[in-house]
Amino acid sequence: MSPEEMLLDPLRLAAEAEPERIQPQRRIHAAEQPGQGPVVPPVRTIVLDRAPLPAPPPSERASVRTQLAGAGPERLRLEEVSIDYGPKQAVKSVSLSIHQGEVLALIGPSGCGKTTLLRTLNRLTELTPSASRAGRIMLDGEDIHELPDTTLRGRVAMVFQQPNPFPMSIFDNVAFALREQSRKRPRRRELEPQVIEALRRAGLYEEVRDNLDGPALRLSGGQQQRLCIARAIAPRPEVLLMDEPCSALDPISTKTIEKLIGELRRDLAVVVVTHNLAQAHRIADKVAFMYLGDLIEYGSTAQVFDEPRATRTRDYVGGAFG
Amino acid sequence: MSVSSPYGIRLRPPMKSGPGRRSSPLHWRWTDRLALAFAWIAGLGLCAIAAAIVLYMGYRGVQYLRPSLLVSRPEVSLSQSGSGGFLDPVLGTLMLTAIGIVLAAPLAIGSALWIAEYGRPTWLARIVESSIEVVAGTPDIVIALFGLAIFQLPLLAPFSFTASGGGVFGRSFLAAGSMMSLIALPPLFTATRDGLQAVPDHMREAAFALGKTKIATIRAVLLPSVRSNIATGVTLGISRIIGDTAIVVFLLGDTPRLEPQGSAPVTGLLRGTGSTLTSYVFDNSPAGEGGAPQKAYAAAFVLIVFVLGLNLLVDRIGRSHADANGLNVAGAVV
Ligand SMILES: Nc1ncnc2c1ncn2[C@@H]1O[C@H](COP(=O)(O)OP(=O)(O)OP(=O)(O)O)[C@@H](O)[C@H]1O
Ligand SMILES: [Mg+2]
């Protein structure tokens, strides 16, 4: 499959996305939002040693992506989010909007706050005692800090850099994600369809169908990572966060997972942190470039890569394809 | 040996190539060479000592151990031939070990979980860890003496052997077992805590990220991950209990036979007195009353077989668990 096909296939799928997945209240809320398009973040004053380039006519690819981005409702909205670790400011007043049906890639040099920002979206930063936060994060119009953390994390799932299946069987890894806290253990028979569905969506089912009770840690790294994705999407979250999901994997597993991300965005909003600019270019609809905690640039993939507004962005992405 | 390739590079035959060339110790500094020699001698020397113990005890054991000794009860007698077997000490060892571990395991695992997963406030965590270190460093005879003081309190009379006049002797399987749990606790605690601390944080976060609470994470992810560490800790604890003599002499009464207190079947035994293989070995050796040195050797052999067998068993359990979960596959996360 050529990269072009990989891109187009999910587009068609997104167009066919079932409308009933958008619940009525959320639709009402979405209607109240004035601008349905991407939120333009307040661009921070950054030293530009050159005037921004005039916007060239959008390339064909860019316009395709823009159409797609418009298709989904807004899921997450960040308003002036700042994160401090003690005296150190790791994320500085970032505003962003994340839509269903699109993949947002967070890029930037090491230590610029990508992981911190990502972990704030499901409130994992709260586990760090020194971390403090300012600003608001809205999930479907609700402040995520008003939600119980367990509820929020059921709706905003996460995949980590290291594949980290639990020391149990493949089936139980996914079933564990589906079991409610307080309720009685549902029987295996009840969970089985959901588990299989999640494994199938993660593109793993065919490889493990005969070995569902085998230990998850026996899988290869790439299979483990897809199991982690299955585990994360099994409870049908609205947003999927991924922190360098392919950095521990070989090129073939990486390709499988990139393809998977393209398919998943049909009914999810996906945020991917990546150091691999070519990967960001392949999989993302929107790109946010961070530098030393600042959100320097946020826009469609084509715009950020082809016509970056800021010099820093140009320098950073220039290294990738220059 | 070498094959020349079409490119003119001389290749070694692929299957036979050994490890690559390494620097020879002959070129090292003399202090480094001395250290290397010492390391070899120390390692080999320890092997020799361990082999000597096992072989000597094996020899004596084969010489004196008769199966009948394991199933017959000790008799009070002045002659070696009339002193019976050591069924009661074997049972005593097993019971005491079971009581000690049953009491120690929840305490040790619970406090390890608290230290590794909660551990706040920090000053309290530090106090807990140092307390366990103090217990670990206390000689068993001091623990035994302390236990005697505790169990002789009239309040605790129901737990131990009480004379008909109402005198509390503070001696029973319960008294000895609870002090044994103190000496089994530190290794079990340390093994569990170290295991938990070795679980990478992103494993916990992966469970949190699924909306799981901390307690659910501990139950479903952390405890299964450290199961083999707990098994190791339990073995270490059991070896310490099996090998201890001071607590047996102080708190178990060191009566040759199991002497139940009262007529209730289980609680009677728990409140009663008895002896273990270690105290039996001591009592019958030339260092003790010296009544039956051959039986002391036979019992010592059984003791060694117990400990070795136990190590093997728990090792096997830990390994098969790791196998079943793929934990020991190279490159696995845990
Ligand atoms: N737990 C923490 N305590 C204190 N400072 C932290 C902590 N985690 C991250 N930081 C700091 O916050 C800044 C942002 O870190 P973050 O991990 O978000 O960077 P990143 O963009 O993900 O980098 P990388 O690409 O290397 O993963 C860094 O300067 C880092 O030193
Ligand atoms: Mg990071």
Q: How confident is residue A21, by pLDDT bands cut at 50, 70 and 90?
A: very low
Say if ligand 1 is within 6 A of residue A111 CB.
yes
Q: How confident is residue A98, by pLDDT bands cut at 50, 70 and 90?
A: very high
Which residue's CA lies nearest to atom 24 of ligand 1? A110
Q: A-B interface: how many C-beta pairs under 8 angstroms?
A: 89
Q: What is the mean pLDDT of chain B?
A: 85
DSSP-assigned beta bridge partners for residue A104: A271, A286
At B325 the pLDDT is: 60
pLDDT of residue A4 exceeding 50, the answer is no
Residue A90: in which H helix or E strand, if any?
strand A88-99
pLDDT, average across residues A210-231: 92
pLDDT, average across residues B89-99: 93
Say if ligand 1 is within 6 A of residue A36 CB.
no
Describe the crossing of helices B173-198 and B87-113 by its angle, rounded to 10 degrees. Answer: 40
Which residue's CA lies nearest to atom 20 of ligand 1? A111
Q: How confident is residue B169, by pLDDT bands cut at 50, 70 and 90?
A: confident
Q: How confident is residue A322, by pLDDT bands cut at 50, 70 and 90?
A: very low
B235-258 pLDDT, tens digit each: 889 999 999 999 999 988 888 888
A182-217 pLDDT, tens digit each: 566 677 888 899 999 999 988 899 999 999 999 999
| A131-139 vs A103-107, strand pairing mode | unpaired
Alpha carbon A11 to chain centroid, angstroms? 17
- ipTM of the predicted structure? 0.76
The whole-angstrom separation of Cα A53 and Cα A118 is 30
Closest partner CB to B211 (pick from A154, A160, A217): A154
Q: Best interface-test mutation with A: which of B210, B221, B328 has the largest number of A CBs within 10 A?
A: B210
Q: Where are the beta strands (DSSP E) in A100-152?
A: 103-107, 131-139, 142-143
Q: How confident is residue B15, by pLDDT bands cut at 50, 70 and 90?
A: low
Say if ligand 1 is within 6 A of residue A276 CB.
no
Are the C-beta atoms of residues B205 and A160 closer than 8 Å to each other? yes
At A89 the pLDDT is: 94
Q: CATH code for A67-317?
A: 3.40.50.300
Strands of A286-291's sheet in order across: A142-143, A131-139, A74-85, A88-99, A294-300, A286-291, A103-107, A269-273, A239-243, A156-159
A235-280 pLDDT, tens digit each: 999 999 999 999 888 888 899 899 989 988 888 999 999 999 999 9
Residue identified by tokens 């639709």 is: A27
Prediction pTM value: 0.77
At A249 the pLDDT is: 85
pLDDT of residue B262 exceeding 90, the answer is no
At A54 the pLDDT is: 46
Q: Looking at ligand 1, which atom is closest to the CA of residue A109?
A: 25
Provide the residue ranges of all domains of chain B, joining segments of one domain with +. Answer: 88-333
Residues of B in contact with A221 (CB under 8 A): 331
- Judged by CB atoms closer than 8 Å, whether chains meet at B206 and A151 is answered as no
B46-69 pLDDT, tens digit each: 999 999 998 998 898 888 888 888
Question: What are the two backbone dihedrals, phi and then psi, of residue B173, each rounded to the nearest 5 degrees?
Answer: -60, -35
pLDDT of residue A5 exceeding 80, the answer is no
- Percentage of residues in chain A having pLDDT higher than 70: 75
At B257 the pLDDT is: 87
At A102 the pLDDT is: 93
Closest CA to A243 of A122, A143, A106, A125: A106
Q: How confident is residue A10, by pLDDT bands cut at 50, 70 and 90?
A: very low
Closest partner CB to B209 (pick from A153, A165, A167): A153
Listed range (A23-37, A301-315, B209-223) with the worst mean pLDDT:
A23-37
Is the Cα torsion angle A249, A255, A256, A259 positive or negative in sign?
positive
Q: Which part of chain A is CATH 3.40.50.300?
A: 67-317
Locate the chain B residue with the closest alpha carbon to A230: B210
The whole-angstrom separation of Cα A65 and Cα A68 is 5
At B192 the pLDDT is: 95
- Ligand 2 geometric centre to CA of A242 (Å): 10
Helices assigned H by DSSP within chain B: 30-64, 67-71, 87-113, 122-137, 140-151, 173-198, 201-208, 214-217, 223-225, 227-243, 246-251, 265-271, 277-284, 293-325
Listed range (A19-23, B45-49, B209-213) with the worst mean pLDDT:
A19-23
At B97 the pLDDT is: 94
Q: Looking at ligand 1, which atom is closest to the CA of residue A290?
A: 21
Contacts of A124 (CB under 8 A, 6+ apart): A158, B205, B208, B209
What fold is seen in the domain B88-333? MetI-like fold (1.10.3720)
Question: Which amino acid is present at A258?
Answer: E
Task: Report whether the peptide linkage leading into residue B121 is cis, meaning its omega lies within 30 degrees of zero.
Answer: yes
pLDDT of residue B42 exceeding 70, the answer is yes
pLDDT of residue B119 exceeding 80, the answer is yes
A56-89 pLDDT, tens digit each: 444 444 433 444 444 588 899 999 999 999 999 9
Helices assigned H by DSSP within B244-292: 246-251, 265-271, 277-284
- Judged by CB atoms closer than 8 Å, whether chains meet at B326 and A160 is answered as no
